[in-house]
Structure 1
Amino acid sequence: MKFLVAASTIAIGSVALASAAHAQSTGSVDVEEAIVVTGTRADAAVNGFKAPETPKAKAVLTQELVARQNPGKAIFDTINIVPGVNFTSTDPYGAAGGNLRIRGFDGARISATFDGVQVNDSGNYSLYTNQQLDSELIEQVNINFGATDVDSPTASAAGGTVNYRTRLPKEELGAAINYSHGTFNYNRVFGVIDTGVFTPFGTRAFFSASDTKYDQFRGPGGIHKQQYNVRVYQPIGENGDFVSLAGHYNENRNNFYRRVGINDMRTLLGSATIPASASITPASPLDLGNLTDAQQETIFNFNNDATCTLPSSSGGAGQQSDASSCANYYNTSINPSNTGNIRFNSRFALSEKLIATLDASYQYVLANGGGTSVFAESDANRSVSGVYSRQGTRIGGGVASGVDINGDGDTDDLVRLLFPSNTRTHRLGATLSLRYEASPENTFRVAYTWDRAKHRQTGEAGRLDQLGNPLNVFGGIGDDDSAVKDAAGNVLQKRDRLSYAILHQVAGEYIGKYFDNTLTVQAGVRAPFFRRNLTNNCWTIAGSSNDAYCTSESDAVVEAKYPAYAAPYAARKVAYSAVLPNAGFVYKITPQVNVFGNFSQGFSAPRTDNLYGFDGVKIQPTSLVKPERTNSFDLGARYTSRVVQAQASAWYIGYKNRIISSQVLLEDGSSLNLDRNVGRVRSYGFDASVAVRPVDMFSLYTFASYTNAKLRDDVVSPAGAILSPTKGKFVAETPKWQVGGRAQFDYEPVSIGAQVKYVGDRFLTDINDVIAPSYTTVDLDARVNLGKVNDKGSIYLQLNVINLFDKFYIGNLSTQAAASNNPQVEFGSPRTFVGSIHFEF
């Protein structure tokens, strides 16, 4: 799994403008002060919930709510209580990842930023939620529904944004430690030290570290996560100017949970329960909600293998074959990732009317998604059943007939190797913003973003020990002892390519206040100019996005043996651009009541990986894939006070050129990614939420959302033939209804909270022939304060119970075109207890 932290700039909310700091970049935070109609009411959270008074439909959650969740929980899981948002966590603690949906848009179409640094993968825009900032350091998270900020530096935001930011270092010396222990041998420790102000200039900083380790709740394997953070903050003068430098490093070593496909269910439960694919149609869909308790338990217990012994490790005369061994061993189903970033943020008042902000960042990634393949030691055995289907004659490398991989003196064996898809990324970004206040009623801003990601994708084969464990979790990267080489001495690879994702973006914005500040209007435009430079050092296999033919053989040999393959190429350029306007208003009816509306255009360029499925010369795409475009409209009303934070909005999104990408898993463990364009999508619905605190000791929050998202066109071939009858079908993985809420009772020293969420049916396929049933989960949290350590610190105990009533439900979905493509599911976690003790002093 690649986690490409896209260092697209932008950073952190300006502390000087904290009352309006709901946007992602320093420049957006600065200018949003001019948008927010009321200051203190919009900033007044009701137990962590805010409805900020901006033209966009937006929700904000603060640390007050984040801290009530189980420590270390993924921030994207926390926002699951916001209307229109559905997040399915892979496990109860969040370090294994999960899937995000907002108004029918998946995580790859939502621009997610951490202090303004985009956390979407720079190649395929995927969102890896398990590698985010420790929850204790998150000051707030805000969600834009269907719209972006005017300076959002992204090529993938067709469906809105999620922005979260780090807290500031504290002004006084102090420290905090949190230890948690829970079900499935969960152990986590987090510590942070704040230096307080330590120079005459007001400099302050914090340093933090955490370590998380636990077992999987289903099947063998575990999760181990380490994280380190630092931030140094330097205020300049008394008017809010500052410079800030922050660093973040995260290291994950995860085993994957085994997904269960429709074909697996048929094998386990029989064709009477899971009929043949030909019998599953939109008119007679497969409803997985009809399974009995015993059947649910059967598929729940379908897991990866806990042990492995490789026949090839014994060696000796004759053929040893790993073809039927260790294919599902848990410790080769892994997701190692090393990610880090450095973030610089600043604000400077050049005059009373002119404000400049500069944000810059660097990010690094090394990651893969594990997986194995079986190689024949001789080219002659390349077609034996179970051997990597694209091995070809690359083992001999054009200079021999094979290689003795396991060192037993012959080349007769079939040897299983770790064969991951490694990704290394170096990314630089910067955004410069200038805000000019022509008068108190008229504000202008211009911004420029530059973003450059060097994206190196390789697939080096690595050795396994006799028990199937990788010698190096990154395969043969670095050409160390774990690397496997062909007869010519070069490392065996599944891919070898270099990509650059380069963004230049200009943006402008106007904020106007009229009629004694009762009407605020906002109008802006951003124009991204995005280019991908693609170099493929291997031969292209038509339609294969992850695997290529990498060989030491000469060009003439490959052309003669494999005439369908396309030759390596360098610096192929693909460019996309758009002009994306947005406009909105807030009209204040009373000091507490306002109405708002917003129009915004979104844009998502095709993804890097799938562009490598053709070379544009010999192998042409079946159709030219165009960037996705959206037109988003919101109209709503808010009521904001210190007692009530309420918001309701109706919305419509017109969506064209929707790209659907499916991953087809092959028998050798490799995969094939295919893009298909399903044309137009029409979405509409409403979101509503109310947070109320009638008395200090009690608060109540409730929300509801309705989403109707349907495909308008069939998938057709260039000749006009219908490839998939998607017209009129509901967008996969999107629940029509979501309803939930939270109640909290505070009576010192005890505090108890509970939250509930209902998620409606979801489809697993584009043609809606498989249904994941609705479900309801309840979580509980309780806290007991044990008193103060000193005049500023305290100790408390906290208990979290996840899935209180132990509900069985289907969580993550791996969607496909139809039931015949074998869509897969992962299950939600069972009831889980977490106890924590928190020291602050």
Structure 2
Amino acid sequence: MQRNFLIAASGLAIVVAGQSAYAQSTGSADVEDSIIVTGARGERAVDGIKTPDTPKAKAVLTQELIARQNPGKAIFDTINIVPGVNFTSTDPYGAGGGNLRIRGFDGARVSATFDGIQVNDSGNYALYTNQQLDSELIEQVNINFGATDVDSPTASAAGGTVNYRTRLPKQDLGATFNYSHGTYDYNRVFGAIDTGEIGPWGTRAFVAASNTRYDQFRGPGEIKKTQYNARIYQPLGNNGDFLSIAGHYNQNRNNFYRRVGVNDMRTLLGTGTIPAAASISAANPLDLSKLSDTQFDTLFGYNNDASCTLGLKGTVTPSNGSTSTCSNYYGTSINPSDTGNIRFNSRFTLASNLIFTVDGSYQYTLANGGGTSVFAESNANAGKNGAYNRQGSRLGAGIATGVDLNGDGDLNDYVRLYFPSNTRTHRLGATASLRWEIDPSQTVRLAYTYDRARHRQTGEAGYLASNGNPLDDFGGIKSDVAAVDAAGNVIQKRDRLSYAILHQVAGEYVGKFFDNALTLQAGVRAPFFKRNLTNNCWTIPGSSNDAYCTSESAAVVSAKFPTYAAPYKGRTVNYNTVLPNAGFVYKFTPEVSVFGNFSQGFSAPRTDNLYAFDGVKIQPTIDVKPERTNSFDLGMRYATGKVQAQLSGWYIGYKNRIISSQVLLDDGSTLNTDRNVGKVKSYGVDASVAFKPVDVLSLYAFGSWISAKLQDNVLDPKTGAVISPTKDKFVAETPKWQVGGRVQFDLERVSLGVQGKYVGKRYLTDVNDVIAPSYTTVDLDARFTIGKIGNGAAWLQLNVINLFDQSYFANLSTQPAASNNPQVEFGAPRTIVGSFNLNF
């Protein structure tokens, strides 16, 4: 599994503590801080909820609200309380991951940044939400619903952005400690130490660490997460200038939950409940809301196997012509990952009206998604009895008829090997920004970004222990556990190297008119993005993840597999564009304003599917173009010390949407790969209001309605025939309606909060022939303050997730149609966690 964190070298959105910067990079934060005056109405919040007065439609949640959620909760789950956003968590605590949707855009089409570092996977742009910063260290998170910042260094943001940032080290010496225990044997420990200001220049720093471990709520398996963080902050004078360096390391060792597909449902529940795929259509959809509680429980109990027994070095004995032994063992359904980064951020005042910012960063990732395959020791038995169907003659390596994998002296066996897809990423980035304040009402800024990611994608096979567990989580990367072919080379499923290189220039203008009542903002960014691809293995038609890696000669492979394409080096693809944006804010009164924004976005094709063809022998009939969006927002805000309210209408025109479908190749064969299918039109309304009528009570309500429909059918590019009838179909996994809110009651020592959300039905397929039902969940949080300790306090906190034990489908694995077997994951049942917190 391709795993990595993109670094786009933008930095912290912080300038100094308490300022109002909500953007992602230091340069964007500096400009935005000049738009929103500290202490103005856009800086006010109602129990952690803000509506910043910017030209873009935004929402901001601060640590005040983040801290009320269960400790360690994924920050992307926390923003589920924002209109237009839907996040479905894999488990109740967040370390298992989840899926994000904003205004119909999935997480791969939303740019997410952590202190300016983009956390989307650099190959397929996926979000891995379980690897983010500990919630105690997040000062705030802000959401741009349909637009990016002018210097957003991303090749994936067809939709909006999610930006969260680390808190500053505290000015006084202190420490924070949290211990949490809950359902499913949840245990989490978090600790942080702040140095306070030390030395003659007021330098301050913090170090923090956490450890999380718990059982899966469904089936066998465990979630384990360890994280370390540190930051040093050096203010430079008293005008907001600073230097900062921060480090982050996260290690996950997780088992996957087993998904249930439509085919599994048919087997478990019978064709009377789940009819044959041929009888399911948009006119006669499979509506999963019609399942009874008993049927739902039957699906819920469909889990991975809790145990596995293998023979010598993974030997399996075919039973009834099958090698399925241990194929569903939970111990190989894993997602190990080691990720880390170092972030440098700075701001310098060169003159009273000239501000220079520089951000730099480095990131590293090693990760895979687990999995096994059964190999036949003999070339002659390759693909038989359910063994790996792409084995070919690679084990013999052109010098033998196979290889003795288990060491018993013959070639008669079938051996199950751990066969993950490893990704190792090194990424460097830097952003420089120069802001010139022409006069107090006129500002211009120029920015340049360079970022370079090196992705090494391999698939080394490793041995399994007799109980089915891998000898190493990363397979055959370590030679002492690697399985080798007859020539002594490690057996691989892929062996490729790619570089993602971005050069981007951006410019921005901000003007204030009519005694600052009107603010105009206009900008443009021009990304020049290149992917450089090297494939050391043979390309298999129809496969973007598995290749034919062999020690055989080119002549042998060409003779045996004439449709395979030869290895290649330095194949490049380029995606360049110019993306303007413009917006305004007009204040009728200090409390009432209107705003509007136009922004263009784009998303380049993803790396993995570029490896599905070589551009010479295996070549699609069309070239995939980047996705493009035109986003419009128009809205009104009202804010006082007691109210934060926002209403916005929006429209997004979306062309060149990319989906994976089957296309006809020039040689007459077919290939499943990415392709453009036309336009999507989406529009909707988002509304929210936070109200604090008295000091002890706050109320928050939000709602969103969306229409997001595909405008074209998927056509065969040669014949024009309809391959998939997607015209006028609703975008998959997108709820039309979302409504929710929160009530919080605060006394001196006791505080109680309740929040809930209704999510409308969602489609699992592009042709809308499978429907996931609507659901409503309610969470509760309660806090009792034991007492004050200096500037801090000690308190107990109780969180109840899914208070009324709602049964529902959470994550959806969407597909073109029901016949492609879309899959579901289950929402967690009622979960209770208690915490002891100490802050001094």
State the TM-score bracket (shorter-chain normalisation).
over 0.9
Cα gap change, 1:322/1:462 in structure 2, threshold over 3 Å: closer, same or farther?
farther
Are 2:322 and 2:385, in contact at CA under 8 Å, matched by a contact in 1? no
Alignment check: 8 A CA contact 1:676 1:715 kept: no
Cα displacement (A) at 1:19: 2.5
Partners of 2:400 and 2:754 lie apart in 1 by 67
2:470 corresponds in structure 1 to 470
| Contact 1:576/1:627 (8 A) holds in 2 | yes
Q: 1:13 deviation in Å?
A: 2.2
Structure 2 counterpart of 1:294: 294
CA distance in 2, matches of 1:100, 1:316: 40
CA–CA separation in structure 2 for the residues paired with 1:32 and 1:443: 11
Contact in 2 for aligned 1:16/1:239 (Cα 8 Å) = no
Letter in 2 for 1:747: L
Residue 166 of structure 1 corresponds to 166
Corresponding residue for 1:669?
A: none
Structure 1 residue 15: Cα displacement: 3.1
Matched with 2:666 is none
Distance (Å, rounded) in 2 between the aligned partners of 1:416 and 1:179: 41
Q: 1:656 to 1:315 in 2, by over 3 A?
A: closer
Q: Tell me what 1:589 maps to.
A: 588
Q: Which residue of 2 aligns with 1:774?
A: 774
Q: Deviations over 1:135-175 (max 9, x none)?
A: 00000000001100000000000000000000000011100
- How big is each residue's C-alpha offset from its partner over 1:488-546, in whole Å with a ceiling of 9 and x where there is no partner? 00000000000000000000000000011000000000000000000000001123110
- Are 1:37 and 1:54, in contact at CA under 8 Å, matched by a contact in 2? no
Distance apart, 1:318 and its partner CA: 11
1:684 alignment counterpart: 683
2:80 paired residue number: 80
Following superposition of structure 1 onto structure 2, how do residues 82-231 of structure 1 map, counting pairs within 5 Å?
82-231=82-231
**Separation in 1 of the partners of 2:654 and 2:769?**
23
* 1:314 to partner: Cα distance: 8.3
Q: Take 1:738 and 1:320, find their aligned partners in 2: how far apart are those partners?
A: 50
Deviations 1:262-305 (A, max 9, x none): 00000000000000001100000000000001000000000000
Q: For 1:768 and 1:125, how far apart are their aligned partners in 2?
A: 24
Counterpart residue number, 1:624: 623
Of residues 321-330 and 619-628 in structure 1, the stretch that sits farther from structure 2 once superposed is: 321-330
User: Deviation of residue 808 (structure 1)?
Assistant: 0.2
Q: Which residue of 2 aligns with 1:251?
A: 251
1:133-532 correspondence to structure 2 within 5 Å: 133-313=133-313, 323-479=323-479, 481-532=480-531
Following superposition, the deviation at residue 676 of structure 1 comes to 3.4
Aligned residue type for 1:571: G
Q: Secondary structure at the match of 2:245?
A: strand
User: Which residue in 1 is equivalent to 2:667?
Assistant: none
1:667 is matched with none
Which residue is equivalent to 1:750? Answer: 750
Give the partner amino acid of 2:392: G
Question: 1:27 corresponds to which residue?
Answer: 27
Instruction: Say whether the 8 Å CA contact 1:38–1:53 is kept in structure 2.
Output: no
Letter in 2 for 1:199: G
SS for the counterpart of 1:200 is coil
Q: Is the 8 A contact 1:320 1:413 kept in 2?
A: no
Q: Secondary structure at the match of 1:496?
A: strand
In the superposition, relative to structure 1, how do residues 2 and 835 fare at CA in structure 2: closer, same or farther (>3 Å)?
farther
The whole-number CA distance in structure 1 between the counterparts of 2:510 and 2:34 is: 7
- Tell me what 1:696 maps to: 695
2:632 alignment counterpart: 633
Separation (CA, whole Å) in 2 of partners of 1:96 and 1:634: 34
1:109–1:319: structure 2 CA closer, same or farther, 3 Å change rule?
Answer: closer
Instruction: Say if 2:571 is the partner of 1:572.
Output: yes
Query: Normalising by structure 2, what TM-score?
Result: 0.98
State the partner residue of 2:815. 816
- Please report how far the alpha carbon of residue 641 of structure 1 lies from its aligned counterpart in structure 2 after TM superposition: 1.7
Given residue 121 of structure 2, which amino acid in structure 1 is its aligned partner? D
Inter-partner Cα distance in structure 2 for 1:134 and 1:557: 53
Using the alignment, how far apart are the partners of 1:315 and 1:217 within structure 2? 31
1:729 corresponds in structure 2 to 729
1:322 deviation in Å? 7.8
Q: Secondary structure at the match of 1:420?
A: coil
Cα distance 1:788–1:322, how it changes in 2: closer, same or farther (>3 A)? farther
Deviation at 1:11, TM superposition (A): 1.2
Shift of 1:385: 2.3
Inter-partner Cα distance in structure 2 for 1:388 and 1:527? 45
With over 3 angstroms needed to count, the CA separation of the structure-2 counterparts of 1:590 and 1:543, relative to structure 1, is same
Matching residue of 2:10: 10
Provide the residue aligned with 1:45 in structure 2: 45
**What SS does the aligned partner of 1:265 have?**
helix
Residue 316 of structure 1, CA deviation: 12
* Residue 88 of structure 1: how far off its partner (Å): 0.2
| CA-to-aligned-CA distance 1:602-637 (integer Å, 9 cap, x gap) | 010000000000000110013211000000000000
Deviations 1:618-669 (A, max 9, x none): 10013211000000000000011221000010000000000013799xxxxx
SS state of the match for residue 679, structure 1? Answer: coil
Which one is further off, 673-682 or 216-225? Answer: 673-682
**Counterparts of 2:806 and 2:659 in 1: how far apart (Å)?**
31
What TM-score, normalized by structure 1, do the two folds share? Answer: 0.97
> Which residue of structure 2 aligns with residue 802 of structure 1?
801
SS at match of 1:408: coil
Unaligned runs of 5+ in 2: 664-670
For the residues of structure 2 that align with 1:51 and 1:772, how far apart are their CA atoms?
32
Report matched runs for 1:777-792 at 5 Å: 777-789=777-789, 791-792=790-791
Distance between the aligned counterparts of 1:79 and 1:200, measured in 2? 40
- Offset at residue 677 of structure 1 (A): 2.3
Aligned residue in 2 for 1:653: 652
Distance change in 2, residues 1:38/1:202 (3 Å): closer
Matched residue, 1:668:
none
The residue that corresponds to 1:605 in the other structure is: 604
Distance between the aligned counterparts of 2:73 and 2:770, measured in 1?
31
The whole-number CA distance in structure 2 between the counterparts of 1:322 and 1:124 is: 34
SS state at 1:211 partner:
strand
The CA distance in 1 between the partners of 2:210 and 2:428, in whole Å, is 26
SS in 2 for 1:28: helix
**CA offset at residue 35 of structure 1?**
2.2
Deviation at 1:34, TM superposition (A): 2.5
Report the count of equivalent residues: 832
Are residues 596 and 395 of structure 1, via their aligned partners in 2, closer, same or farther at CA, if it must alter by over 3 Å? same
5+ residue gaps, structure 1, are 665-671
Give the 3-state SS of the residue equivalent to 2:543 in structure 1: coil
Q: Distance in 1 between matches of 2:232 and 2:321?
A: 56
Matched, 1:552 2:535: no
User: CA contact under 8 A between 1:312 and 1:321: conserved in structure 2?
Assistant: no
How far did 1:313 drift?
4.5
Check the 8 A contact 1:504/1:530 in 2, yes or no: yes
Amino acid at match of 2:429: G
C-alpha separation in 2, matches of 1:661 and 1:189: 42
1:40, CA displacement in angstroms? 2.9
Write the deviation string for residues 165-212 of structure 1: whole angstroms up to 9, x where unpaired: 000000111001000000000000000000111111111000000000
Partner of residue 668, structure 2: none
Paired with 2:167 and 2:764, the residues of 1 have a C-alpha distance of 39
1:781-827 Cα offsets, whole Å, 9 max, x none, are: 000000012x2121000000000000000000000000000000000
1:189 partner amino acid: V
CA contact (8 A) 2:289 2:772 kept: yes
| Amino acid aligned to 1:148 | T
Cα distance, 1:689–1:633 mapped onto 2, change above 3 Å:
same
Check whether the contact 1:262–1:823 (CA below 8 A) recurs between aligned residues.
yes
Aligned mates of 2:541, 2:521 — CA distance in 1: 47
